[in-house]
Amino acid sequence: MAESRRIARLILQGFHHHYQLFQAITNTAEQHFTARAWGKLQAAARDRISFYDLRVQETIAMLNQELATDEPNTELWQEVRSTYEELLLFHPQAELAETFFNSVFCKLFHRRYFHNQFIFVESTLARRIPLPVETEYQSYFPVAEGVKETLRRIINEMHFTAKFADLEANIAQLMRAFQRQSNVRALAAHQLRLDVLQNPFYRNKAAYVVGRIVTEDQQYPFIVPVLVNQQGELFLDALITDVNQMTIIFSFSRAYFMVNTRAPSALVRFLKGLMPRKTLAELYSSIGLHKQGKTEFYRELLNHLADTNEQMVAAPGIRGLVMMVFTLPSFPYVFKVIRDEFGESKPFGRDTVLKRYQLVKRHDRVGRMADTIEYSNVALPLSCISADLLEELKKSIASSLEFENDLLIIRHMYIEKRMTPLNIYLEYANPEETKAIIQDYGQAIKDMLAANIFPGDMLLKNFGVTRTKRVVFYDYDEVQYLHEMNFRALPKAESMEDSLQDSSSISVAPNDVFPEQLPQYVFYNPKLRAQFLDLYPELASADYWGEQQEKIKAGVIADVFPYPQCIRFLHVKYDEAT
């Protein structure tokens, strides 16, 4: 018993070390935000992603000094798991600590031991009284001091260290925005309560105050972005009350928030109440706890497979040259595995693909690049895989497959949220939808350029359309940094002989790009090409791409807002009567 307790405490000590460091770097966000140190804030968010794996490795190194075998002592490790579960009885991050235990055990031993006897396949939290959500938010009661003073208190109690440029004017704007946007405009102060999460959510160049208005019958979620001007003064920028718009702010296509939380399960349950369509996996990932997001996703997948007789099939659309992609039609994700052999047009190997997916994982995705969940040794029941798909998997990714009784083990896999491929969307879109989505496709490219991302292959099949009709890029095998590319104009014909010369005879270096070819390359349909050029003629100009590149080299971090410009207080015109 003493040995099992020592091992359990050593693993929990490893988790505590991880979470302390995770919170310490998270807490630097406010300082960087106030100082307008955008590069440092992005670097902190990027560095934080690797913290978990480093602490797991450190814990394993300590355990390896005590464990002399690769085979777990069954009785000992069952005691370790039981003891560890006892230690988590009143732990504020119990679900994260369970996942940390799983990570350590799964690195130490073979996957045949990955079941609930030894690890937390099912969380023990379901059998306990959940942490009260109230631990993460503060309630405010306008009946006691009026709406205006309540709003002032909410902002002041966010504990921003910088001063507001004109908080009184911002409060007035906020009150008018509530009156115009909210369904509670007719309610008196005594008929509502405001619940606000105690800590702001930091990401890129903004902080977000998140809360809800509670009435006797209903609740109304809201987000208030806070920005900082060039003088280092804060100002409220907008009021977001539309749930669809809130889900875009918390989208899988954006970088992770940095937010201080002592009880993540309570924070996530509060967010789930505001955005019911979001899964626990998505919400944990959105606040930077992407390993917990992986755990929650895998549980969702196992539960879904247990409840359906449906089989996985190849994903609809044009087959990729680098990734084999398949899906379960009733489950809103796709599964991507690197092919054994690439097409001739892909002059790179597996290691390059792995690095490029990691690049995107650690980069600011500006709402235009899908997050990926990366797994090793994924076990899928053979019964859930269609015969046609299994045959295709054997032909295209045989080196990644292992068969174990009635299971198919895939050694390495990426999982992404499923979207409608843009080329398929355009086949069925009406003229109005077509124009809107082409406009968003061009804006998606511009947003990625602003984030120092050159997407590489910009064919429509490599972009998806989300439920909220946003265009998101999801094929990363040719992604590179914008500043590494060389943008060139096509040579101008000076004679009849030059005009007849094939473009393939032009001398091209590996990173040379000719933006003039983009419209022709992407849009085979002349009408769509003309629409694109009418909306974005600059994207066919090498000069424009070069200008964006120079901004990146000069250290400019562009403003990419996750909410419409038209709702910003700066642009809203209020009727004097309101």
pLDDT at 497 over 70: no
For the beta carbon of residue 503, count every other beta carbon within 10 angstroms. 11
User: Which residue in 57, 35, 39 sits closest to 47, CA to CA?
Assistant: 39
pLDDT > 90: percent of the chain: 79
Is 272 labeled as ligand-binding?
no
- Is 316 annotated as belonging to a binding site? yes
Residue 131 annotated as lining a ligand binding site: no
93 pLDDT higher than 50: yes
The beta-carbon contacts of 430-436 under 8 Å, at least 24 apart in sequence, are 433/469, 434/528, 434/531, 435/531, 436/469
Segment 37-43 mean pLDDT: 94
Q: Which of 68-72, 329-333, 511-515, 545-549 has the lowest mean pLDDT?
A: 68-72
Looking at residue 185, its pLDDT comes to 66
Mean pLDDT of 471-478: 95
Asked if residue 336 belongs to a known ligand binding site, the reply is yes
Write out pLDDT tens, residues 269-310: 999 999 999 999 999 999 999 999 999 999 999 999 999 999
Whether the pLDDT of residue 578 is over 60: the answer is: no
Which pLDDT does position 335 carry in this prediction?
Answer: 97
Confirm whether residue 318 is marked as ligand binding. Answer: yes
β-bridge mates for residue 421, sequence order: 464
- Using alpha carbons, list the distances in angstroms from residue 328 to 318, 335, 389: 17, 9, 11
Residue 384: the pLDDT is 95
What does the mean pLDDT of the chain come to?
Answer: 91
Residues carrying an active site annotation: 371
Q: What single-letter amino acid sits at 33?
A: F
Phi, psi of 57 (to 5 degrees): -60, -40
What integer pLDDT is reported at residue 577 of this predicted model?
36
Convert the pLDDT of each residue in 241-277 to its tens digit: 999 999 999 999 999 999 999 999 999 999 999 999 9
Structure tokens at 318: 């044009």
| Three-state DSSP state, 548 | helix
Res 114 pLDDT > 90: no
- pLDDT for 504: 53
pLDDT tens-digit map of 501-559 = 555 556 577 889 999 999 999 999 999 999 999 999 999 999 999 999 999 999 988 88
Report whether 315 belongs to an annotated binding site: yes
pLDDT (0 to 100) of residue 420: 95
Rg over alpha carbons for the chain, rounded to the nearest Å, is: 26
Instruction: Rounding to the nearest 10 degrees, give the CA dihedral for residues 108, 112, 116, 118.
Output: -30
Task: Please indicate if the annotation marks 306 as binding a ligand.
Answer: no
10 CB-near residues (< 8 Å, 6+ apart): 59, 62, 63
| C-alpha torsion 94→96→98→103, nearest 10 | -160
567 assigned to a ligand binding site: no
pLDDT tens digits for range 155-194: 999 999 999 999 999 999 998 888 887 666 667 788 889 9
Q: Residue 288: how many CA atoms within 13 Å on its side-chain side?
A: 27
- The 8 Å CB, 24+ separation contacts for 209-216 are 209/154, 209/155, 209/158, 210/271, 210/274, 211/137, 211/154, 212/273, 212/274, 213/182, 213/184, 215/184, 215/187, 215/191, 216/191
Give the burial class of 266: count Cβ atoms within 10 A of its Cβ; 0-12 exposed, 13-18 middle, 19 or more buried: buried
- Which segment of 352-361, 423-432, 484-493 scores lowest on mean pLDDT? 484-493
- Give yes or no for a contact between 234 and 162, defined as CB atoms under 8 angstroms apart: yes
- Per the CB < 8 A criterion, the answer to whether 313 and 303 are in contact is no
Sequence-ordered list of residues with C-beta below 8 angstroms from that of 385, at least 6 positions apart, any chain = 311, 312, 393, 408
| Helix ranges restricted to H, 186-288 | 243-249, 264-274, 280-286
pTM above 0.85?
Answer: yes
